[in-house]
Structures are given as C-alpha cells and as structure tokens.
Structure 1
Amino acid sequence: MTARSDRGGVRCRCTCPGATVWVTGDCAADRLAAAYALAERLHAERRRVEVLDRFDDLGTDARRVGLIAEVLARNGVVAVVPCAPRTMAAVRARHAASDTRYLEVCVDGRRSPQESALAVHGRLAGRH
C-alpha cells in the first residue's frame, strides 16, 4: 500500500527522507571531495545517496540538474550535486514548491571538504 501525503500526492515508501545537497565553492576539486565525503558518511548509515558529479560544465543547465536531484530526493535518495552556482534561485524554488528538502553548502578555503561534509551531515540529521 502506498502512503498519501496531505497534499494528495503519493509519498515515498522508504523510511528515510531524501534531500538535495548542492555543494558550491570556487574549487571544483574541493566541491567533489566534499560531495564524496558526505556520500561515504551517508552510505555508512545505509542511506540511499547519489552524487551527480558529471554536470559541472558550461553547457549544463543547472535547472535540469536540479530537476534530476529533486526527483531523486522526492523518492528518498540524498542527491549530492557538486556544482558551481548557476540559476540557484530556480532550483531552490522548485524544491520549495514540491516540499522537497534542499540544503546548500559552500566549500571554501576556511574548512576542509571533510569538515564541510560533516557540517552538512549534521544538518541532514537535524543536529544543526
């Protein structure tokens, strides 16, 4: 039996909520390292996670990547997107309209990718 949400739509059957985690920052290597560090932590907890790491080029539409991430998140997957910020407002708005969890983390020189992953992991778990 499939559960229904208050809004009349069909909810995911899984017990863990999905989310989109958009990893931004100046250095592509740091974004990627933080994304995979977060994925490792989530895998260790037996969470479903997908790193969408092949979209950070000049020809990729961030709204399209955001749509893919949102669909995954609505279905209980934590979609981690290590992508430079382009049209972020549209991605945020789409997630808000579908009531899908969305987090952003900026990886910069002040903290290591592992520290960024730890901070996001805490937010996903509701500790921050």
Structure 2
Amino acid sequence: MSDPTGAKRRCTCPGATVWVTGPSVADRRAAAYALAERLRADQRRVAVLDRPGGLDPDVERTGLMAEVLARNGIVAIAPCAPESPPAVCARHKASGTRYVEVCVTGHDRPTDVAAEAHALLGRHS
C-alpha cells in the first residue's frame, strides 16, 4: 500500500489467522469455506489456505503463510491440521498477529464452527 507521496505503508485492516482443527478433513474444509463466505459478506479480505490436490503436509509453512497474510490485513483460514502446532501459535504471538483457533469437534454443522469463529474475530477487531 502506498500514499500519494510514494511512501510505503503497512495495511491497517484487521487481519488474523483462523486455524480450523478437528479430525475430519471434510468438516474442517466446510467450516473454513463457510467462514470465508461470512467474512466476505462483511467486506473482509479472506484467503483459505487449502489446496485442491490435497492439504499441505508442512503445517508450519502453512502457518508462516497465514501469519504473513494476517499481518497484511487478510483473514487467513487454515483448515489443515487435526491440531494446532505450537510453533505456529508461538510465531503469531511473537509478531503480535491475531490468531484464533476453532475445532469442528462437538459442533453439529460446519456453519456452527463458522459462526463461532466469526464471533471470535468480531471480539478482537
């Protein structure tokens, strides 16, 4: 982002990483895309870190990508692991980047998970 004088500025939009956990890949993905839809309806910039050919097995690399996107005003949603790796959470904390974790286990529908994450993001805006 730059101003009329050409100076570069960091985006001030409220970015965040949302780590969607739970044992079911299908439920994680469904919750991630339901959340993305809700956030786009709020005019938020969103990236779902999901690959059509399969999920990235390197969750720390996915966490790094999510953190960089979040620091630049994008809500990065990662439906990529049964549990959150401690290194991902630590990296977000060290950089002061918002990090929210939601689990699909215990919810009847992926849209319930999306609603929970949406509410958590609203509290931290």
- The equivalent position to 1:107 in structure 2, one of 104, 108, 119, is 104
Counterpart AA for 1:20:
T
Matched residues in 1 for 2:76 and 2:103: separation?
A: 16
After superposition, what is the alpha-carbon deviation per residue over 1:2-58, rounded to whole angstroms, capped at 9, x for unaligned?
Answer: 7xxxxxxx86334x310000001111110000000000000001100000012625x
Tell me what 2:10 maps to: 12
Matched residues in 1 for 2:88 and 2:108: separation?
A: 25
- The equivalent position to 2:67 in structure 1, one of 26, 47, 70, is 70
Runs of 4+ in 1 over 3 A off after TM superposition: none
What are the residue-to-residue correspondences of 1:8-87 with 2, within 5 Å? 12-14=10-12, 16-54=13-51, 56-57=55-56, 60-85=57-82
Q: Percent of pairs identical after alignment?
A: 60
TM-score when normalising by structure 2: 0.85
Gaps of 5+ in 1: 3-9
TM-score when normalising by structure 1: 0.83
Gaps of 5+ in 2: none
Q: Report how many aligned residue pairs link the two structures.
A: 117
User: Cα gap change, 1:30/1:84 in structure 2, threshold over 3 Å: closer, same or farther?
Assistant: same
